Amino acid sequence: MEVILAKHAGFCFGVKRATHLAFDAADKGGDTYTLGPIIHSPQVVQRLEEMGVKSVEDVAEIKNGSTVIIRSHGVAAEELEAAVRANLEIVDATCPFVKKAQEHVATLSKEGYDVVVVGDAVHPEVQGIVSYATGRVYVVSSGKDVERLPRMAKMGVVAQTTQSFEHLNEVVAACLARGGETRVYNTICDATAVRQEETKKLAGEVDCMIVIGGFNSANTKRLAQICRELLPRTHHIETAGQIDPAWFEGVQRVGVTAGASTPKWLIDEVTERISAIDKDKIG
Ligand code: F3S
């Protein structure tokens, strides 16, 4: 059985950076916390917990003088301010691409633009981005949503980093159609699109797909959905232990991909387990 691993399976740049910063902070010892899970990987969160890093929901739960790690998709401006007021040592692991989106929103507000954020209103990244606006700010998920917004003379548009370019385009077109001045910052990061394209191609070339990543990871769930549409023999797992050897009955080629928050060690364990199952079959 041939095992084909997608080239960009696993950590994106921002998650890799955040994870390194978190493990470095954990290595230093002392009371260390994250505000919410550092990334959407229960296994990484558990490893950090074993090293003494606690995940809390609110700055108020953190002891004075501790270290707090800010997760890759950022936190709200007020939470960061609360951490500063509480004299916490801040390790800011916000992905630089997310940071850019936050900065653009702050600048747009300062320069008198009403801000339109293209994204999912309940996603923590979007809630963080929105919090940097000091004036009017709206979250939209389609061009239709733009039509329902109040009159605006100056509109500034930014996007959640994981949005598709087509989606941003649709919203911008709707903003332009309303008239007035429109300033657009393309804050999309292509890591998501690259993984999705690659996964789609791979799913079309194999008999079975294994998608690795947190069951709470939106980008991993999306990868599994893309695969399933092309190949019903798709399995979303978090760890190698969840693999059922029966999945590979009659399979010649198996494709493996992983979400942007899946660490390399989990991917390695999965590919090793598949190879071991194959050897058992032959032996
Ligand atoms: Fe950053 Fe893009 Fe990853 S925004 S966290 S590099 S998906």
Which CATH number do you get for residue 146? 3.40.1010.20
Residues 88 and 102 in one domain: no
Residues 28 and 58 in one domain: yes
Residues with Cβ within 8 Å of 91's Cβ and at least 6 positions away in sequence, in order, are: 21, 22, 25, 67, 68, 69, 70
Residues 47 and 67 in one domain: yes
What's the 150 CA to ligand 1 centre distance in angstroms? 32
- Overall average pLDDT of the 74-101 stretch: 96
First to last CA, the chain: 13
Identify the three-state secondary structure at position 90: strand
Residues 149 and 229 in one domain: no
Domain hosting 196: range is: 2-10+191-282
Q: Does 144 have pLDDT greater than 90?
A: yes
- Counting the structural domains of the chain, the total is 3
Residues 173 and 229 in one domain: no
Q: How many CB atoms lie within 10 A of CB 115?
A: 27
Residues 198 and 221 in one domain: yes
Residues acting as catalytic residues: 125
Residues 195 and 278 in one domain: yes
- pTM tops 0.95: no
Residues 75 and 28 in one domain: yes
Residues with Cβ within 8 Å of 204's Cβ and at least 6 positions away in sequence, in order, are: 230, 231
Residues 66 and 104 in one domain: no
Cα 119 to the center of its chain, rounded Å: 13
What's the 38 CA to ligand 1 centre distance in angstroms? 13
Q: Does 238 have pLDDT greater than 90?
A: yes
Domain termination residue (choose one: 68, 95, 122): 95
Tokens of residue 5, six digits: 């691993």
Domain termination residue (choose one: 64, 95, 126): 95
Residues 213, 222: Cα–Cα separation, whole Å: 11
Residue 243: how many CA atoms within 13 Å on its side-chain side? 25
Q: Does 268 have pLDDT greater than 90?
A: yes
Known binding-site positions for [4Fe-4S] cluster: 12, 95, 189
Query: Quick one: which atom of ligand 1 is closest to the CA of 12?
Result: 3
Q: How many CB atoms lie within 10 A of CB 77?
A: 18
Strand partners, 5: 256
Domain termination residue (choose one: 184, 218, 240): 184
Tens digit of each residue's pLDDT (9 = 90 or more) over 15-46:
999 999 999 999 998 999 999 889 989 999 99
Residues 216 and 160 in one domain: no
| pLDDT above 70 as % of the chain | 99
Residues 132 and 145 in one domain: yes
Tens digit of each residue's pLDDT (9 = 90 or more) over 151-195:
999 999 999 998 888 999 999 999 999 988 999 999 999 998 999
* Alpha-carbon separation of residue 36 from 42, 185, 271 (angstroms): 12, 28, 30
Nearest to 250 by CA among 208, 202, 280: 208
Residues 40 and 66 in one domain: yes
Tokens of residue 220, six digits: 């991993």
What's the 219 CA to ligand 1 centre distance in angstroms? 11
Q: Does 236 have pLDDT greater than 70?
A: yes
